Amino acid sequence: MFRRLLVQEMGTMGNDSIGIVVLLATFMGAVMCLQTAHQVGGWIPIYTIGFTVRQTMILEFSPTLIPIILAGKVGSNIASQLGTMRVTEQIDALEIMGVNSACHLVLPKIIAGFFCIPVLVVMSMFLGIASGAGIALLTGVSSMADYQYGIQVDFKSYDVIYALTKTTVFALIMTSVSAYHGYFTEGGALDVARSSTKAVVYSAVIIMISNLVLTQILL
C-alpha cells in the first residue's frame, strides 16, 4: 500500500511537473543568455555568456526558483488534497480504522519530494544551459566555441553539491510545510483554499530564508 502511494506521489510530483520545469528552464536559460550578451563587450570576454548562464542556472535559478515555483504547483496540490480529505472526514475515517493518517498520507509525499525535486532541478540545469547555447547560436551573440568554453571555465563540482543540498532541503520544506497546512485544515471549502494559499506563501518565505542561511553556511 505504501509503495503504491509513493509511486502515485512520485508521478504527481515528478511526471506532472516536467512540463512546467521544461518551459521555465528553457526560457530562463535563453533570457539569461541574451541579457548577459547585452552586458558583455569591450574588456568583458564573450565566453562570459556561457559562464554566467551556467553559474546562474546551477547556483540559483534551478535550486531555488524551481522549488519556489513547484511550491505553487505541488505545494498547493498537497495542501488542498489533505485539506479536502480533512474537511470531508476522510482523515477521520482513516483514524477510526486505526491507520496512522499522518504517516499514511504525508510520508509518501515527503519521500516523493525528496527524490523527485532534485531530479527536476538537475534536468532544469541542463535544459537552461542548453537553451542558452541554442539562443546564442540562433541570434549569433556568441559562437558555440566561446559558449562551450564559458560553461567549462572555472567549473567547481562543489557548486553542484551546494545546489543539490539546497534543493533537497527546499523539497523537504515545501512538502512538509504544505502537508502541515493541509493536514490541520479546519472548516470548509474556504478554509481549504486558505490552507492552500498559506502553504504556498509559507513555503516560499521559509525557502528564501533557508536559502540565505544555507548559502552562508555552505559557500
Partner 1 sequence: MIELRTISKSFGDQNVLNRVNTTFQQGKVNFVIGRSGSGKSVMTKCTVGLLEPDEGQVIYDGRNFTEMSLKERKEIRKEIGMLFQGSALFDSMNVEENVMFPLKMFSQMSKAEMRERVEHCLHRVELNGSNNKVPSELSGGMQKRVGIARAIAMNPRYLFCDEPNSGLDPQTAIVIDNLIVDITKEYNMTTVVISHDMNSVIEASDTIHFLHQGEVAWAGDNSEIMTASSQTLNDFVYASKLMQRMRP
How many secondary structure helices (H) and strands (E) does the chain include?
10, 0
CB of 203 to partner 1, least distance (A): 23
154 contacts 50 by C-beta, under 8 angstroms: no
Buried b (16+ CB within 10 A) or exposed e, 69-83: bbbbbbbbbbbbbbb
Residue 44 as a binder of partner 1 (CB under 8 A): the answer is no
Residue 99 as a binder of partner 1 (CB under 8 A): the answer is yes
Reported as type and span, the H/E element at residue 47 is: none
Residue range at the interface with partner 1 (CB under 8 A); choices 37-45, 83-91, 126-134, 165-173: 83-91
CB of 94 to partner 1, least distance (A): 9
Amino acid identity for residue 29 in this structure: G
Helix, strand or coil, per DSSP, at residue 219: coil
Residue 84 as a binder of partner 1 (CB under 8 A): the answer is yes
The one among 16, 20, 72, 90 contacting partner 1 by CB under 8 A: 90
Q: For residues 199 and 178, give the distance between their C-alpha atoms in angstroms, rounded to a whole number.
A: 5
Residue 189 as a binder of partner 1 (CB under 8 A): the answer is no
Residue range at the interface with partner 1 (CB under 8 A); choices 55-63, 80-88, 112-120, 133-141: 80-88
Write the DSSP assignment of 76-101 as a string of letters. Answer: HHHHHHHHHHHHTTHHHHHHHHT--H
CB of 91 to partner 1, least distance (A): 9
Residue range at the interface with partner 1 (CB under 8 A); choices 95-103, 168-176, 186-194, 210-218: 95-103
Binding residues for partner 1, per CB under 8 A? Answer: 1, 8, 84-85, 88-90, 92-93, 95-99
